[in-house]
Structures are given as C-alpha cells and as structure tokens.
Structure 1
C-alpha cells in the first residue's frame, strides 16, 4: 500500500520537520522488522511524500505510526498558527504582544491541563488526532495536510478554541493581579514609614505572625474594630502592614514559592528582606509538622 501525503511547500522549516518525523517512523518500524519505503517529490506549491509498506499485513501498524507522526506535526507546527487564527478572528481586542502571551498560555494549558471539551482531554488531543488520521488513511491513500486540518478537524478546532478562552481568562486574572500589585506598591511608596522594623514569621502549616522590632506580637484586633468587614487572613496581614507602614520587613520563611509569600515580596519589594533561617526565627518558623 502506498500512502501519499501532500504538504504545502511554503514553510521550509515545516517540510524539514515533517521529513524528520517520517524518518523516525521509518526507523521505529525497521526496528520491528517492518520495511517502509519513503520518498518525496517536490512540486511548485507542494511537496509529496510517499510511504509504501512492502507487505499489506503491516498496513494497520504503518497507518498507526503515520497517524502519530502527523498528529505530532499538527500539534507542534500548526497548532500555534491555529491558535493565532482563532485569536485574530474571535478576539480582536488584544494587541500583538497580548496575542503572544495568550498563545503561550494556551499551549501550556494544552500540554498540562486535565480539562476537557467534547470528551477530548486537552493533553490527550494528540492521541485523538492520531486515531482520526489513521482512520482516514484506512479509507484514503492520499492525505492532504491543509485540507484535513481545515475540513476534517472541527472538533479539534473547537477544543483549541475553548482552550483559548480559558487562556484568555487566565491572562485577564494575571493582568488584574499585576494591576493590584502595581497599585499597592504605588500606595506604599507614597506613605511615610510609621515603624522602623517589622518581623513577619511564617511557621510551617500555620498563619503568618507579625511582631514588632522588640519582639512584641502585633495583634490584628488592635487595628480592626467590630464593625470592620470580615477579611481573610491574607487580607488582614496586608492591611496590617499597610497600616503600620514599616521601613523594613524581615520575612522569616522557608516557603518563598507560596503564592501569598510571592505576593508580599512583589508588593513590598525593596522594603522586604527574606530570611530562610536565623536565631530569631527558629522558635517561630518550626512546628510539629515541619519535617525539614
């Protein structure tokens, strides 16, 4: 059986990439004792790749390998273009730089997310596409790459479109977060310090604790009255620090990658110093649950 794969010759890098993937198929099949002949023919606007299985009994295996190679090529080379096409057609409000950021978010979600659309888990889409291609090759000996992507992958494109929307939501949340950080930083820079030094302790598995320079706990109850709207612990910590406006904060923590800790470091920037272990913080940053 001879399979003909038609590729547009506009992108030389795509042709090289696809040729490498075909020869990977050739090598994998050869290790299994299956002989596959591959040759190509260059035309003015396209490149034809021919794959011939010497023995028909191996056709199913060959189709499966070709399906995987074509699926990887579509996801690796065409997917970014599909994402950008969707953004330009359906989300015209973003700038070119924002398109690139959303594109990166979308690709990351596609490769790592367990979310799904139309029973297609994002990160399993390669397997779905591979099966679709192999099924197509079982009924046709000619495979047109552009035609297949455009006319036979509607569910795939809908899956990508849904993931793009999730990436946009993630981007907007990130933008709102950065705006929040920027406004807080601007507010802090405008304030005259009321306190020279504050210690912020972060015990393992517990809430953060605020102490004055003299080692006296700063009680949140001293700042809020009963009529104050209930706040989360993290909001109360930030509000307390904004209230006392320290010149310097020493943050005693071993967990700098936690989201709230990273937020504090961004907000207070040059005013905050991170301590990962000292005599002052030893009694505060350890707990029964600390195994380090």
Structure 2
C-alpha cells in the first residue's frame, strides 16, 4: 500500500479527485479511510507510478499549489504588499511559464518546471511508502521552488520595465496634449525603416525633422525608448493626425506610436501608401 498524508481534508479530497479522474479501476484502488490521507493500491507498481501517481501529483502541484507559492515569494521575498501589483507580477510569471514571453533572454535556457517535479518524484517514490505531502513539498522540491523563484524574479524585472514604459508613454501623451501641433498631419511609411512625409507626400529630411525637436524636453527622457530619427521629432511636431502605412501594426515602434498618439493615428497597409 502507498499512502500520502495531507494537512487538511480539502487537500486530500482534491488530489484524491485528481487520481480518480485519471485512473481506471483495474489500474489502481484508491481508499480514503482518513479524511486527511489517501491510500493507493496497485498490482503493477512501475506502471502506476509513471502513469498515475507522478502524473496526478504533478497536476495537483501545478494547478493547486503553484500560484500560492509564487504569490508567497512575491510577498515575503520581494515585499510587494499591494494586491494589484502582486496580481500583475503573478500574471507575468504565469505567462513566462506558459511560454508566452519566450523572447526574454533570461528564460530561454530554462528547463520546463515539470522536469524538476518529475525527477524529484521518480527519485523519492517507492512501494509501501507512507509520507507527508507537506514535508515532501517543502524539502524534496527545492530545485522546483528555486525555479519558481527565478520565474518571479524575471517577472518582477519585466513588471518594472513595463511600469517604466507606461510612465514614459504617459509623459509623452501629456507633452503632446499641451503642445501646439506644428503640422496638421504627417504620413509615415514603415518598411524595414520608417520614413516621414508631410501632408503633401514630400519626404522630410533628417535635418528638417531635427529642427522640430525640443532638445530640453527630449534630454529628460530615457534614451532606451526615444530616438532622434523618428519618435523625438514626431512627439515634438505633435501632429493632429498621423497616417501610418505598415503591414506590421503590432511591431514595437508602431505600437508605441499608437500608444502615444492614440486616436490621432490611422493605420493602412503599405499597398495603400503615398508611393502608390
């Protein structure tokens, strides 16, 4: 018999339900004589461990424990007390885990966290074992817990960058709101690079664009975000309308232009550009 002890009836019942959902009756017998423990009986131990016990415990940890652990890390290790901030960081961490932010350099060599869980369980489980799930989770999953902490660290870095970016965007929005428009409209053609044209469709030279730049304002802005070829003159011109020709409206700079100028931006495919 294989037995797992839990800290609460609710925890025992949850994982018991998981085992029942993935187990066929002829594979394993599941008992719950005590509300805070479950007993598993199987004739084929190796098969049961791989297909049922490990699978069920991993499912329980990922679906029912992982968020709780990461939230605790956010609170106790990094001292984020605001609920909204905690949830935003947690959301970023989850998106990193799910592979939605694979462009982040720090995580490109991360093993999937299921690997750590599976290895720990394979090394620990054996027939006729009775163990505390809490003790196993606390002391046997150190590599997994370290990986979760690393996900949280990267999520916090991303959260801070996003906050900095949003503050930057808001600063530029405020600037164009109080700055008189120096041109009614400009047209931007985005191919591999960006080219700015005036309303008549005449390309604006680099020197012409630089004449519009408010250097005292631009020098105060983070150099990692603003450039003197496109964004700086565009913000300082503060046109009432921007017509953007692009086939990549979700590209980084295109998104930034839309975020700053909002309803002032009209987007069309390159095929409709002023060169046609």
CA distance in 2 between partners of 1:93 and 1:173 (Å):
16
**Within 5 A, what are the aligned runs for 1:1-292?**
2-9=1-8, 12=10, 14-15=11-12, 17-27=14-24, 35-43=27-35, 46=36, 48-53=37-42, 55=43, 58-65=44-51, 66-112=53-99, 121-122=110-111, 124-138=112-126, 141-203=129-191, 206-224=192-210, 235=227, 236-276=229-269, 279=272, 281=273, 283=275
User: Do 1:198 and 1:249's aligned partners in 2 also have CA atoms closer than 8 Å?
Assistant: yes
Structure 1's consecutive aligned runs of 4 or more residues displaced over 6 angstroms after TM superposition are 113-117, 231-234
User: Do 1:194 and 1:246's aligned partners in 2 also have CA atoms closer than 8 Å?
Assistant: yes
Unaligned runs of 5+ in 2: none
CA RMSD of aligned residues (A): 2.8
Deviation at 1:121, TM superposition (A): 3.1
Higher strand share: 1
User: Do 2:12 and 2:38's aligned partners in 1 also have CA atoms closer than 8 Å?
Assistant: no
Q: Deviations over 1:50-86 (max 9, x none)?
A: 1101x2xx21121122112101211221111111111
Deviation at 1:35, TM superposition (A): 2.8
Q: Residue 251 of structure 1: SS of its match in structure 2? A: strand
Q: Deviations over 1:173-212 (max 9, x none)?
A: 0100000100000001011111111111112xx1011111
Deviation at 1:130, TM superposition (A): 2.1
Deviation at 1:21, TM superposition (A): 2.2
User: Do 1:68 and 1:126's aligned partners in 2 also have CA atoms closer than 8 Å?
Assistant: no
User: Do 2:244 and 2:267's aligned partners in 1 also have CA atoms closer than 8 Å?
Assistant: yes
Q: Residue 143 of structure 1: SS of its match in structure 2? A: strand
Unaligned runs of 5+ in 1: 285-292
Q: Residue 273 of structure 1: SS of its match in structure 2? A: strand
User: Do 2:74 and 2:80's aligned partners in 1 also have CA atoms closer than 8 Å?
Assistant: no
User: Do 1:198 and 1:248's aligned partners in 2 also have CA atoms closer than 8 Å?
Assistant: yes
Deviation at 1:222, TM superposition (A): 2.2
CA distance in 1 between partners of 2:179 and 2:203 (Å):
23
Aligned length: 261
User: Do 1:86 and 1:161's aligned partners in 2 also have CA atoms closer than 8 Å?
Assistant: yes
User: Do 2:189 and 2:195's aligned partners in 1 also have CA atoms closer than 8 Å?
Assistant: yes
Deviation at 1:278, TM superposition (A): 6.2
Cα distance, 1:141–1:233 mapped onto 2, change above 3 Å = closer
